[in-house]
Copies of this chain bind each other. A is one copy, B any other.
Amino acid sequence: MDHLELLRELHQKNDSKIVMLVADGLGGLPLEPGGMTELETAKTPQLDALAKRGVLGGSIPVKPGITPGSGPGHLGLFGYDPLQFIIGRGALEATGIGFELGPNDVAIRANFCTLDAAGNITDRRAGRISSEESAPLAIRLRQVKIPGVEVFVEPVKEHRFVVVLRAPGLGGHVADTDPQRTGVPPLQPTATKPDSEKTAQVAAEFVKQANVLLKDEKKANGMTLRGFSAKPNLPSYEQVYGLKAAAIAVYPMYKGLARLVGMEIVGKAQTLAEQIDVLEQNWAKYDFFFIHFKYTDSTGEDGNFAAKVQRIEELDGVMSRITKLQPTVLIVTGDHSTPSFLKSHSWHPVPTLLVSDCCRSDESQAFGERDCVRGGLGQFEAKYLMTLALANAGRLGKFGA
């Protein structure tokens, strides 16, 4: 029996509240052998007190050794096997800029490029065009008209933009048109499965009209299309877990990911303190709260150990406001590790803390990577964290008699 099927069958409702606080990229590494990680360095009296009350473990985002992007990282935390549920690149890009995909949509990542008189690519990134220059061009492409198809064009950054085609009967199985080299023209959009023949035709028509609209541009007079993808078909939190779920996030990507699993986006918080305000204001209305804190990841990506430590301490500072609400289950974790030592996402298990009245506490004294290794949750695949959350909330019935 499939795991989500099992949860669909076993879940039951009660008046418990679950909070999942995701500090993006939480896990880290020491700067020198034998040293302490960012989380171990940070002064976190509140998280340490929770670690004593709760149970720790290491969450493996996908599989040992696999470093996830934000998409698979969050799908795992949300309980969806990230190797089974794949979010296409186009869909993720659209999600990342806050575009709400519908069931008839195909999203495409597009790059402006420079073409010579023969139509061959001379620069695959349109001379590293600035966002200021490229955004009006992307908006100009909204003039493309294709009968029976709604076309959306959204600027992203520099040479990148997003195209969404909306019509019945479109499939996401079209090959990239980027030839990956210069001196040749962009490839023709070609369906890789029969369900996407129409998409390929519509995309070709889009490129044809767009190229006319861009023909007088010096840098950005052509484009390549990549990552064609339909909206991923994820069962919702309500269906699988019976949870009315709220997402409290600042950045569009995380709001988008939460929306894909049927969470409601609440509030317009711009700071962590405001996110907790939103949590308090909505406490009565939802069963489950996903709170996303971005800066543990961005400081890690910057390679700024001290700044990441500071961000973790900022997070520690709001914990008492959360515990005051007395959640039945409180989880603090991350979608992956982002060690400042590596300046990138990594595969290392993510420090994870779960507190409930029946969590079977371990002997951990502090919230940190070393304590998590010895923690009572052991090392587990992130996709089981939601199951543990539901169990600790008394929201799962018994399997079999």
Contact of A53 among B33, B65, B73, B89 (CB under 8 A): B33
- Within 8 Å CB of A30, what residues of B? 361
Contact at B400–A87, with CB atoms within 8 Å? yes
Contact at B378–A69, with CB atoms within 8 Å? no
A15-54 Cβ-contact flags toward B at 8 Å (1 or 0)? 0000000000000011001100100000000000000110
What are 19 A-B contacts defined by CB distance under 8 Å?
Answer: A6-B63, A6-B66, A30-B361, A33-B361, A34-B361, A58-B378, A62-B399, A63-B387, A65-B389, A65-B396, A66-B399, A68-B399, A70-B400, A71-B401, A86-B400, A360-B369, A363-B370, A369-B376, A378-B379
Is there a chain B Cβ closer than 8 Å to A375's Cβ? yes
CB distance from A243 to the nearest CB of B (A): 14
Contact at A358–B388, with CB atoms within 8 Å? no
By beta carbon, the residue of chain B nearest A96 is: B401
By beta carbon, the residue of chain B nearest A388 is: B65
- Which A-B residue pairs are the 10 nearest by beta carbons? A65-B387, A69-B400, A378-B379, A65-B391, A64-B384, A72-B400, A65-B388, A69-B401, A71-B400, A347-B391
Contact of A29 among B33, B52, B360, B362 (CB under 8 A): B360
- Within 8 Å CB of A400, what residues of B? 68-73, 82, 86-87, 92
Residues on A close to B: CB < 8 A?
1, 3, 6, 10, 29-30, 33-34, 37, 52-53, 58, 62-73, 82-84, 86-87, 89, 92-93, 96, 339, 341-342, 344-349, 358, 360-363, 369-370, 373-380, 384, 387-392, 396-401
